Structure 1
């Protein structure tokens, strides 16, 4: 890294008083980058806003509040209000970042030959309990990096994400989608759909804290994810359809074909859905579990 990069860190809070200070301090202690921390409180009823006000009075962050939108839309609201900067990163309210987390991510951007593209970095993490003790050591997290794989499942964790201004500008132009699974899922798919680049870093650079008040954590079971999607039929295909419509002018021809094929087969009769379910083009070769979830949703006509 030739000079210090400027990163706007976007955090959404909701009743996060128990672990918020740990996370804020880990962000403020990032090495070799200039950090601008902006927080949106999503309607907290505990002492979260008191903590935020304390840090703001010391000039350490800026914060604002709004009605409860839920995690996904709260983060997109942050993007819509974010100032121009070189890079952007998402932060949960209860994790702990390693001191070189942002520096490592920016290094990937600076070594890339595709700086004219929208670029999204997604990293790895170490799952820990509320006291930062390691858990679920066998969990293997991998982010999908092709559009066809992202249609099966994005597998991109928001609290690890760093993205450049080109991607931020695209997200900001259409920041209130009607159909959205999660903010990270939306941004990941948009990046790949418009021909952007996704970088996955397998080296963990943060503790991803799991506790009883997590909005969305890293220990999903097969059925918990399927049941969530079943509550809103066609959530995943609806999200892809909306991305296709919103960013149609930005999507390359080859990517349009990938999306169109998935939508035609995925919303067809059982035979067509089976063709998509077992298509080698859309198969995630590194994760059989995600392929099986995709297939089940197609068979149930819930994709």
Structure 2
């Protein structure tokens, strides 16, 4: 199996070398390393170019985005890039972590011997460097005493089961959803989409073994809420559209393509999310309140109901 590593960078000059080393020194060397920089204002791009040249790294390349996309769309673009290679397995990489040197070969061996697995995550160790850093709460699998745990079927949007930097994905799985991911769905995290969709399709598993050190610090891009109670109504509506509607539309269409019995369930949440957006845009509190009562069971959790009501009062 040929492999490709996709790395998103942004102002990572001081952080990136250890991760580049851990990719370069993998027991299973990657055939491609595609690095996409999202408008760094430090020396990240030149550092990476020098690193590639000094180490004579064939198949490695760094591309600069013409404009800042944000980390979510940057990873979307990297996934598009991966489809232009002949790699069979795609790995996702952040700029500030450190992989164990046997990470890739362990995951490729599992994917090679388990045809039913298309997405394979894994456990990590956490290195928390500052008090401001958030610490992810990992999903607890029911069968976590086994080597592999199957992803659960989550009908609602969920933030995912493991960090995206642990993912090994068969190329054909990416083809399933990428065609439906519109550019204006710019608040949709790639790892949540991939992992939840893999669970719904019953092709996602976790390797219950640490494969990397995940560094957490105050500048981590993920783990931060897009919308808080202090946010504008405009941002509230934008997230409903660019994250939740995007998620449910993609998932519904992929499940439909695969003749899944869950397609109509996800279509229901997709249609519900469109109603949420329409009512939020209307500015009519009574419509929103009626929606909360009528669609009570379609909300992921109670905080989502409260959020809709509170933002209905905002101009």
Q: TM-score, normalised by structure 2?
A: 0.74
Q: 148-157 or 121-130, which moves further after superposition?
A: 148-157
Contact map agreement 2:127 2:215 (CA 8 A) in 1:
yes
Contact map agreement 2:256 2:263 (CA 8 A) in 1:
no
Contact map agreement 1:105 1:162 (CA 8 A) in 2:
yes
1:122 corresponds in structure 2 to 121
1:85 corresponds in structure 2 to 87
- Distance in 2, matches of 1:258 and 1:147, equals 12
Out of 1, 7, 11, which is 1:11 matched to?
7
Cα deviation, residue 207, structure 1: 0.9
Out of 236, 255, 268, which is 1:232 matched to?
236
Out of 110, 121, 139, which is 2:112 matched to?
110
Contact map agreement 1:41 1:63 (CA 8 A) in 2:
yes
For residues 156-208 of structure 1, the C-alpha deviation after alignment (integer angstroms, 9 at most, x for no partner) is 42111110011122344345442242121233344445x35111223221111
- Distance in 2, matches of 1:201 and 1:136, equals 23
Contact map agreement 1:72 1:182 (CA 8 A) in 2:
yes
* Residue 33 (structure 2) pairs with residue 29 (structure 1): no
Cα deviation, residue 244, structure 1: 4.7
Out of 53, 58, 62, which is 2:49 matched to?
53
Cα deviation, residue 245, structure 1: 6.3
Q: How many residues align?
A: 272
Contact map agreement 1:37 1:62 (CA 8 A) in 2:
yes
- Distance in 1, matches of 2:64 and 2:174, equals 21
| Structure number with bigger Rg | 2
Distance 1:41 1:237, change over 3 A: closer
Cα deviation, residue 214, structure 1: 1.6
Equivalent residues in 2 for 1:1-303 (5 A)? 5-57=1-53, 58-60=55-57, 61-66=60-65, 67-82=67-82, 83-114=85-116, 119-130=118-129, 140-142=137-139, 145-149=151-155, 151-179=157-185, 180-192=187-199, 195=201, 197-217=203-223, 224=225, 227=228, 231-233=235-237, 234-235=240-241, 236-244=243-251, 247=254, 249-263=256-270, 267=275, 269-277=291-299, 294-301=301-308
Cα deviation, residue 242, structure 1: 2.6
- Distance in 2, matches of 1:102 and 1:164, equals 13
- Distance in 2, matches of 1:99 and 1:73, equals 28
Cα deviation, residue 152, structure 1: 4.3
Q: Mind listing any 5+ residue stretches in structure 2 that lack a counterpart?
A: 142-150, 277-290, 310-315
